[in-house]
Amino acid sequence: MHAPDNIAPDNASRRAFLRRSGALSLAASAAPWALALSSIGDAAAQSATDYKALVCVFLQGGNDSWNTVVPYDATHHALYQGLRSNIAFTREALAASALDPLGGSPDGRQFALAPTLATGLLPLFHQGRLAVVHNVGTLVQPTTKAQYQARSVPLPPKLFSHNDQQSYWQASSAEGATSGWGGRMGDLFASGNGTSTFTCINVAGNAVFLAGDVAIPYQVTTSGAVPVNGIKSPLFGSAAASQALRQLMTAPSSHWLAQAHAQVAQRSIQAGEQVTSALAATPLPAPFPTGNRLADQLGLVSRMIAARQQLGVRRQVFFVAIGGFDTHDRQLATHPGLLANVGDALAAFHRATEVLGVAQQVTSFTATDFGRTLVSNNDGSDHGWGSAQLVLGGAVQGGRLYGAAPVPANNGPDDVGQGRLLPAVAVEQYAATMARWFGVPAGDLPLVLPRLGNFGSADLGFMTA
Amino acid sequence: MTPLPSANSPQALDCRDAAPTPPDGPAVPGVALGLVGTLALAACGGGDGPETNDPPSALPATRSSEQTARFLAQATLGATRPEIQALSQRSLDAWLAEQFARPPSSSHVDWLLSQGYGAEEFRFSQRGLDNTIWRAFIGGEDALRQRVVFALSEICVVSVLGVDSAWRQFALAYYLDVLQAHAFGNYRQLLEAITLTPAMGYYLTFRGNAKANPKTGSQPDENYARELMQLFTIGLVQLRPDGTPVLRDGQPTETYRAEDVSGLARVFTGWDLETAGMAKPYPPEQMCRPMVQVAGRYETGPKQFLGTTIPDGTDARTALRLALDALFAHPNVPPFVGRQLIQRLVTSNPSPAYVGRVAAVFANNGQGVRGDLRAVVRAILLDPEAHDPAHLQDPAWGKLREPVQRFVHWARAFRATSAGGLWDIGDLSDPGSRLGQSPLRSPSVFNFFRPGYVPPQTALAEQGLVGPEFQLTNESTVAGYVNFMQRAVATRNVGDLRPDYGSLIPLAANAPALVAEVALVLAAGQMTAATQAVIATAVQSMPAKTDSDLQNRIHATLLLVLASPEYIVQK
């Protein structure tokens, strides 16, 4: 037996901590370890009485943030345009989506949203609900350009590789990681949820983000849970066959793959009915755009939030995702449409949370494999690293851009060549800011984000207290 | 000794440019596997009759039906009871030789044309693609080849979802034809052939890729260069021949850097669709021939990557060849590709020793040839680790059958065929209402699942093992699959596909016998007596008077087996 290569050392001590706690627990399977902690008065056991939800909106493929949050002041726009003249927006095209931040731009740097984000998100920015965080990316520790070039500090493994960077964003570890920071937050709150099953909800395909040590992602389609018809109704006319079907699908096994499969089937069958009945009472709280897969997913999230009391949850982490952002070619033909979908879906989702009266309790944030090169290829861009992200919700201190605005250059001070930005903010810091708002005590943040201590600030300031 | 295959046999044609062995591996004729006394002569690993130059396997010439069914589950997408029966009385060597020699199912492109999918109304649709794929996977007599084609399509991934061209069904059909043609050929030739397909040119965006433009500052698109290295040849970290990572100070070593990607990207410039002999609006055949060079877009300067330099002024075709030669010669290729093929066919967590044996055959097939896929497939399927009965008791052994494999297995096992020749089963990607997977429709170039995916909170995860197909396994797909198969076995929602349950009808009144038969055919006898008893008890309680009663019993038995984890896991 060997331990997975890429488990952070802190996870070993975290696992030991969990196991020690589990050893103190009484009713083993029904009481997750967090209850045991509360029985010994440990602050890490969360029993939130309010409701909060975090929604990770993953843009798969590596979103080009140069054309999402676009340099707009004349000097920097010229630099930007000069390096990708075939795929850049002109200043004229950006005029209608220029950002006017609260407190102005003391450093003289101005930005505009991509034109197709304007309808959905520009008003939200100016209402103070949407924040921009500059140049977020995967890091092991703060890294200067000289250190990167000399490889003199540890770097995230497999930079510029889609699957590994997606994993690193979600789990601080390359492909093969077994838990993500969303799931690790779920671990801390699962016991406070009446039904811990619904702590981490995945409306996209399997992703490590929501996997915890205790919390398991529960996957649901955009039209709800999928019942097993042959269990719900007689199978080929036979009730006995229905029962056998249920028994067989969920039968425990000494074979590890069979057991793993049966576990998923068991959860599907057990929780499915509860989800279906909850969703039956919660139609879409507000209109959502059609023909927009992100909107479909966020619509379902809004219905799950509406059903939170029936589902017995107080803290939830959601994961939604869309693909298509790997714009190596035809960027101008495809990227604007993708962003339009993102902006429209997020705006509809925020509206839905307002209707439900939970706008200040739900925070959505973007994430992506990496940014892209500022320098273009013929009609697109290639894999980059740091990128701007968006955070949306009633508790967001919006209308501002956080972090140092990167200089558009090719091999300038902020990039490692071709305008691939060296991240100034680590994913851990971005995540910690939201985790703190979610209710994770400062002392427990390292359980969720093991490398957080490598970085300066654990609170970038874009959330209200 | 058998004479060389004729130059007209498909295998010889594939290997006209057979790559030389790398400098560190001198040709070692005929000794590699340690089982051979004779010097083999077929330079390309070919052999076009029952008498072959392949080293004989150590397996007995006859074996039980269960053992044979187990082998066929690894070697094919599904087999009937008579096929299992017949093979249990024959040597596996003979079967393999026959399968290698069997020509491919008819060309996908030809079939699309013959069915009228080249008509103008289909120019911007995908219509026909799923049809021809199901036709070959379910109906193809070349069982081994189709299994390998499917496996290759999950390593060298192209997905119709990312090919944004006219006639995309033809582009993908041609891609499949290329995989079919090279499945038992040489991996080096396969690489060159897929590189030049229009489908790949569109999918990994280098069709139309141009050299750097100093005026606009644009650089060549790096997509293909990166994914060719990361996914089709060498992977991300240096590997030992047994597939384990090379560690320096406890850390893996990267195989390439950003500069290597940029350097290699310069090779993949100037390629575009051939238009010679065609007028607009271009016919489907435009997507069915190798790409060609377009003047003025190719980067003629030197290209440097991975310690190789392609000199200034090298023409595009030569540069392409040299680049592929350099990648192909990298020591990572045999374990990187070999291990994934083992994962596709046999088990998710092969021992390093198994990987090492297969990688050794990839590096040198015994006749000094590197990349002989026929030899590699043979080595994978005949390796003792694949057959060891002890592994049936190993809690970590085997692989989850992917949804497409389960569906096609049922179809092939019961000789399902398309009543009207339409094969209109359709796109089965939807997870809630279909299989949750459909061939050549992967969501990205990373396939439906990663070779390194670890299902969280499982014994596999605790033990540091992988379960790639678990990436498709969640609360929705487990239910969606069972719902789809419940309809499929009763021939609903599968177009004009019609299975043949003739072998089951005589057994249907006898529930234990019916269950035992299905358990053998589908689960290769890996279903415990206890599980079979659960199914038999339920089925026994169902009426057995009318024909319709018997059909219900058959459908119920099939579904209960197909839904059991003991079937879903292939050991």
**CA gap B448, B20 in Å, rounded:** 34
In chain B, residues with a C-beta closer than 8 Å to the C-beta of A217 are 456, 474
**Contact call for A261 and B454, based on CB within 8 A:** no
- In angstroms, the separation between the Cα of residue A349 and the nearest Cα of chain B is 23
- Please give the C-alpha separations between residue A428 and each of A233, A451, B24, in angstroms, as whole numbers: 48, 7, 45
Amino acid at A314: R
Q: What is the ipTM score, two decimals?
A: 0.89
Q: Which of B396, B531, B569 sits opposite A248 (nearest CB)?
A: B531
**Would you state the structure tokens that stand for residue A432, as one six-digit string?**
């910690």
- In angstroms, the separation between the Cα of residue B433 and the nearest Cα of chain A is 8
Return the HEC string of B282-331: CCHHHHHCCCEECCCCCCCCCEEECCEEECCCCCHHHHHHHHHHHHHCCC
B345 with B75: CB under 8 angstroms?
Answer: yes
**Contact call for B218 and A86, based on CB within 8 A:** yes
**Would you state the structure tokens that stand for residue A335, as one six-digit string?**
């990227």
HSE, side-chain direction, 13 A CA sphere, residue A6: 24
In the block, which residue shows the tokens 């980059």?
Answer: A384
Close Cβ partners of B492 (under 8 Å, ≥ 6 residues apart) = none
**Contact call for B538 and A258, based on CB within 8 A:** no
In the block, which residue shows the tokens 């994770």?
Answer: A440
Which residue in chain A is spatially nearest to B455 when comparing CA positions?
Answer: A178
B344 with B155: CB under 8 angstroms?
Answer: yes
**Contact call for B537 and A243, based on CB within 8 A:** no
Closest Cα partner for A131 from A338, A377, A430, A422? A430
Cα B490–Cα B495–Cα B498 angle in degrees, nearest 5? 50
- The tens place of each residue's pLDDT in chain B, 571 residues long, gives 333 333 333 333 333 333 333 333 333 333 333 333 333 333 333 333 344 456 666 678 899 999 999 999 999 999 999 999 999 999 999 999 999 999 998 999 999 999 999 999 999 999 999 999 999 999 999 999 999 999 999 999 999 999 999 999 999 999 999 999 999 999 999 999 999 999 999 999 999 999 998 887 789 999 999 999 999 999 999 999 999 999 999 989 999 998 999 999 999 999 999 999 999 999 999 999 999 999 899 999 999 999 999 999 999 999 999 999 999 999 999 999 999 999 999 999 999 999 999 999 999 999 999 999 999 999 999 999 999 999 999 999 999 999 999 999 999 999 999 999 999 999 999 998 899 999 999 999 999 999 999 999 999 999 999 999 999 999 999 999 999 999 999 999 999 999 999 999 999 999 999 999 999 999 999 999 999 999 999 999 999 999 999 999 999 999 999 999 999 999 9
* pLDDT value for B53: 55
Q: Before B281, cis peptide (omega within 30)?
A: yes
**Contact call for B479 and A226, based on CB within 8 A:** yes
In chain B, residues with a C-beta closer than 8 Å to the C-beta of A382 are 219, 221-223
**Would you state the structure tokens that stand for residue A167, as one six-digit string?**
């994993």
Amino acid at A46: Q
Max CA distance (Å), chain B: 82
- Please give the C-alpha separations between residue A149 and each of A153, A415, A451, B216, in angstroms, as whole numbers: 10, 11, 22, 26
**Would you state the structure tokens that stand for residue B154, as one six-digit string?**
């999950």
State residue A364 phi and psi, 5-degree precision: -110, 145
Handedness of CA A378, A380, A386, A389 (dihedral sign): positive
- In angstroms, the separation between the Cα of residue B28 and the nearest Cα of chain A is 35
**CA gap B104, B125 in Å, rounded:** 26
Question: Which candidate in A181, A233, A256 is best for mutational testing of the B interface (most B CBs within 10 A)?
Answer: A256
Close Cβ partners of B20 (under 8 Å, ≥ 6 residues apart) = B370
- In angstroms, the separation between the Cα of residue A288 and the nearest Cα of chain B is 21
**Would you state the structure tokens that stand for residue A410, as one six-digit string?**
């090719």
DSSP single-letter state for residue B228: I
Give per-residue pLDDT as tens, A11-59.
444 554 554 343 322 233 333 433 333 333 333 345 567 999 999 999 9
Which residue in chain A is spatially nearest to B449 when comparing CA positions?
Answer: A206
In the block, which residue shows the tokens 């007596």?
Answer: B529
**Contact call for A220 and B475, based on CB within 8 A:** yes
Closest Cα partner for A198 from A279, A313, A298, A109? A313
